[in-house]
């Protein structure tokens, strides 16, 4: 199996690049942000809970997020591999993911970490707000909180994979195609 963690701060291009990777490598895309938004739209209990955190730019609690991810893995037994987009976002989530995959006799193949300067992230998110309809993209205070949460809680996840020699840092600026090429090279050479 090819199991990829696509990592990076909000606005780094994880969603956009996931689309290209799924097509090329036939992977199942698991975006925890997308799954939360689908639950919010469907007005489920999970959606109501997630919304209260997402609206502030905070993380949804680990237990809730990990349980949700576990059921997605259980629901896709035929997958040739997964691309994890927006997960794991804490060390606890990374540890849980390792043990979930290990119980399926597989593991993370590599982490691709998109690197984008903070000023460009903020610009990209405000621009995305014009079309995404996401209220968490439109408010500079929420954006600032999402980036602060990333720096404090999520950035340490990189070291977790670095210790396993699985970290590949990718320059996340330039055209979408240029960035995709860098990702393909890292995957094909890993
Ligand atoms: P994203 O679409 O990845 O930008 O995620 C949007 C929001 O969903 C985040 O700001 C968090 O509030 C929540 N979220 C997404 N993935 C996770 C995760 N792995 N752990 C906790 N919260 C998450």
| pLDDT given at position 96 | 98
**Which active-site residues does the annotation give?**
14, 89, 128, 134, 146
| pLDDT given at position 159 | 98
DSSP state of 60: P
> What percent of the chain shows pLDDT beyond 90?
99
- Determine the Cα angle at 126 with ends 46 and 90, to 5°: 45
pLDDT digits (tens, 9 = 90+) for 159-176: 999 999 999 999 999 999
> Residue 166: how many CA atoms within 13 Å on its side-chain side?
20
Report the chain's mean pLDDT, rounded to a whole number.
96
Q: Rounded mean pLDDT of 15-39? A: 96
| pLDDT given at position 102 | 97
| pLDDT given at position 106 | 97
Q: Would you say 149 and 58 are in contact if contact means Cβ atoms under 8 Å apart?
A: yes
Distance CA 59, CA 92 (A): 13
Task: Give the distance (Å) from ligand 1 centre to CA of residue 90.
Answer: 11
Could you give all domains of the chain from N- to C-terminal order, each with its CATH number?
2-188 (3.40.50.300)
**Pocket-forming residues, ligand 1, beta carbon under 6 Å:** 10, 32-33, 36, 53-54, 57-60, 65, 86-87, 89, 93, 146
pLDDT digits (tens, 9 = 90+) for 118-151: 999 999 999 999 999 999 999 999 999 999 999 9
SS3 175: coil
Q: Rounded mean pLDDT of 60-79? A: 97
pLDDT digits (tens, 9 = 90+) for 78-90: 999 999 999 999 9
Distance CA 148, CA 163 (A): 24
| pLDDT given at position 60 | 98
pLDDT digits (tens, 9 = 90+) for 98-108: 999 999 999 99
Q: Which atom of ligand 1 is nearest to the CA of 14?
A: 3
Nearest CA to ligand 1 atom 19: 87
Distance CA 94, CA 56 (A): 23
60 Cβ partners below 8 Å, 6+ apart? 32, 36, 49, 50, 53, 54
Distance CA 3, CA 39 (A): 25
Return the closest-CA partner of residue 59 out of 85, 33, 31: 33
| pLDDT given at position 62 | 98
| Structure-token pair, residue 43 | 């007005």
Task: Give the distance (Å) from ligand 1 centre to CA of residue 149.
Answer: 10
Claim: this prediction has a pTM higher than 0.85: yes
pLDDT digits (tens, 9 = 90+) for 53-62: 999 999 999 9
């Amino acid at each position: 199996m090819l199991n990829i963690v696509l990592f990076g701060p909000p606005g780094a291009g994880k969603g956009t690049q996931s689309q290209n990777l799924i097509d090329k490598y036939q992977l199942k895309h698991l975006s925890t942000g997308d799954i939360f938004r689908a639950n919010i739209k469907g007005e489920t209990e999970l959606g109501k809970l997630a919304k209260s955190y997402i609206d502030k730019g905070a993380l949804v609690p680990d237990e809730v997020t990990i349980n949700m991810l576990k059921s997605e893995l259980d629901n896709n037994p035929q997958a040739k591999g997964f691309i994890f987009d927006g997960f794991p976002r804490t060390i606890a989530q990374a540890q849980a993911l390792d043990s979930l995959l290990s119980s399926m006799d597989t593991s993370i193949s590599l982490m691709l970490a998109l690197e984008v300067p903070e000023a460009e992230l903020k610009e990209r998110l405000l621009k995305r707000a014009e079309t995404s309809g996401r209220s968490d993209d439109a408010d500079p205070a929420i954006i600032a909180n999402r980036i602060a949460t990333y720096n404090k809680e999520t950035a340490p996840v990189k070291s977790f994979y670095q210790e396993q020699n699985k970290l590949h840092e990718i320059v996340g600026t330039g055209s979408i195609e240029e960035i995709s090429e860098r990702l393909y090279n890292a995957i094909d050479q890993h």
